Structure 1
């Protein structure tokens, strides 16, 4: 880094809000703009109040009127203003003005930044709690390109004034983190909650980009959000970038597949393809309004109590290479997953699972924390005509194929199971490939680690090549026996 940020030492304790703002204000090299829409100018006021703001703030503005906003940043095709696209336009426009209006020759050491947010706070009816996008585009060296940190927040407070104050604190924490904690992105995430309670705000999407974040994998940052309790679920697309769950789930039909995908096998893809064919033939399910989600739970990622990040990345790379959208959630129970989806859509939903997973759903031990027990859970699970597409499983002891007609649940659950089955909630997948039923991820994983032959044929096209190329799941080329 060409410019040394003055006073860049670790604080033993969390600095106060004033201390954070003042530290930035007193750094003679940091100079930038603030543009805030939808919740006042809550972030920049911290810098004005701290003192010395003239050395930091080139401009502070709030283009509240839509016509003014469109005249400055351009109109959005969909007419919406609280969007990631809007935020990017704001950041790009303000940085361009900085470069035009502050001569580099006269300010060779200046490192520019632009902070922006576009939010909507809680409405008067308190029906919609509000959400928003905020981000910073910034330099750490005047000769380098800009870095960017973009995040989406969802408010949990029920008063607009409190939401505004919280937004201002998060914004200050973001700016401070960008300049003084950029080298520790995982810690930067935690510092976003300095001086606010975890239950006041949810961060469900974050993306890092730029020359100082080339080593940052945004999928791992997604994982951190769930691990740290900042959100209950995150999603990322085939390109590896985090995507806002609401953007992909809103008013969509949803087909979800939960699994370990360690690694993704021919069985996983057969489950997906066959259940998808059934789903799009359902009443009111239009293909262009349907999304497929491959979900991995946090508990599934844990190995001996700790989450193995390398193992997680191995799974993520393979699913992304197959063009899939991946979701990491903290929902151990299926009904919680359905509740989450129901926040964003009232359209059709379906879950694809194996026989063993359905048996687990009918295990009462998972619902003891609910006052209504398993009945309450099932009322939520089968909300809005949700259906389960059941993939058969070979019984390792008998060699017989288990379906919805032969699976065994606890005696106390038999009548409940019959009720859902005979009311069309559980649908067997019949056109499965019988030649792959003996493929299990855990066995493939063991074969890879032990250098045995034959596992390649158990995986979708291209997956074995990726595993070998990247040495995923403990694969070591020298373990493979040569003829």
Structure 2
């Protein structure tokens, strides 16, 4: 297999030498190196510390054993030992590496979906400061043995990628699931660090995970740090606004503020922590020019959102019911969706649900299955100029009773405390003004956004 070939190449490489430390799902990565032969030339040590007392005596105590913090501690310890004990003897001709994982696989005691953190710390060249790749995976196989097998393959792929394809990080990401069916694993977080990856923007790597089908959604903070969704959303109420944010406008922020204020007044939210997300789908990131997603354009959108201190969600969930299912995977608290009236009307377009046996009814059943509410931002009627609100929105005649039911039962609510001056703002017109040199755009985007656009010449702005 490809995995065996990779393990053998690493074993036969006289310059690579390291440690494999695994907790929670057997010694599946190390087993590949022993299976193909020649492991003595590659592995200084293979360790699996299952007992918590033993584990704590080696790596120190931990609040959570399956966590990034635990993984980092393992990498610190194992890589430090390698250098401390072997650098004087063979450091000039050896690229040291330390691989570690800490995993909760399906077992007699653990019946939830398997997941874990994996990482490799390695030298690109002998005596160079180390670089590092850290990732979080979810294991979808139902049997423990299958999860262990998948984990071992990913581990070998990660070590191989770090040692031999670090100059092409996008290809390295794609190779993580070689020899594994896409339905078996999900890689939802990745971070590259160190001298081998100085030119790498982890936000682009996160985007690559979604575009490559390794996951359906990724998150990162305003300062560009990629975060694991479960850590960010666990047991928290969530408010999401979806948009193009090309660029983010005062209307976008007015809608978010109005929805946030209303969300905080919900009885279920009292005393709860609220996570606010600005979401862009892969489809919204394309510019309609047939060229796909422009990485520079993507970063410009994300950077301008970052000036407002907002967390970004990038997803491949075109339908809102799929987004809802994703969010409720991590939290059982209330979820709010803020959208314009035009977007809500599109939600009632049955063509989007042709792939569901139950059509639009099944979609709404999934969407409102848990504690979810839609907050509707008014939009001027293109003919009369009057605001179209949640109460005046017109849907197809045969869906009017369904819409009335959702409205009357508080699944949908109109936002009333909005700034009338923002209602007519169009993101497309703002972009045209920026590119056309019309300074009018500066008055209709948030001040930090305008400052960054002018400072860095974003979205085609010419000073």
TM-score, length of structure 2 as denominator length: 0.97
Moved over 3 A (4+): 123-127
Q: 1:413-437: CA deviations, max 9, x gaps?
A: 1111111111112222111111122
* CA drift at 1:288: 5.2
**Structure 1 residue 110 and structure 2 residue 94: aligned?**
yes
* CA drift at 1:462: 1.2
C-alpha RMSD over aligned residues: 1.5
**Structure 1 residue 160 and structure 2 residue 144: aligned?**
yes
Structure 1 residue aligned with 2:172? 188
Contact 1:265 1:459 in 2 (8 A): yes
How many residues end up aligned between the 2 structures?
A: 461
Instruction: Compare 190-199 and 82-91 and name the one that shifted more.
Output: 190-199
Q: 1:172-217: CA deviations, max 9, x gaps?
A: 0000000111011111011111111111111111111111111111
Structure 2 residue aligned with 1:132? 116
* CA drift at 1:103: 3.4
* CA drift at 1:125: 7.8
Structure 2 residue aligned with 1:252? 236
Instruction: Label 1:402 to 1:473 Cα distance change in 2 as closer, same or farther (>3 A).
Output: same
* CA drift at 1:356: 0.4
Instruction: Label 1:286 to 1:147 Cα distance change in 2 as closer, same or farther (>3 A).
Output: farther
TM-score, length of structure 1 as denominator length: 0.93
| Unaligned 5+ runs, structure 2 | none
Structure 2 residue aligned with 1:439? 425
SS at 1:102 equivalent: helix
| Unaligned 5+ runs, structure 1 | 1-14, 478-483
Map 1:68-467 onto structure 2 (within 5 A): 68-76=54-62, 78=63, 80-104=64-88, 106-124=90-108, 127-286=111-270, 289-303=273-287, 304-305=289-290, 306-467=292-453
Give the Cα separation in 2 of the matches to 1:364 and 1:203: 32
* CA drift at 1:49: 2.1
Instruction: Label 1:355 to 1:346 Cα distance change in 2 as closer, same or farther (>3 A).
Output: same
Give the Cα separation in 2 of the matches to 1:448 and 1:288: 40
* CA drift at 1:150: 0.5
Instruction: Label 1:106 to 1:371 Cα distance change in 2 as closer, same or farther (>3 A).
Output: closer
Give the Cα separation in 2 of the matches to 1:405 and 1:17: 59
Contact 1:302 1:308 in 2 (8 A): yes
Contact 1:123 1:129 in 2 (8 A): no
Q: 1:100-156: CA deviations, max 9, x gaps?
A: 111336531221111000001113388412101101001112332111100111011
- Given the alignment, which residue of 17, 23, 36 partners 1:37? 23
SS at 1:318 equivalent: helix
SS at 1:292 equivalent: strand
Structure 2 residue aligned with 1:12? none
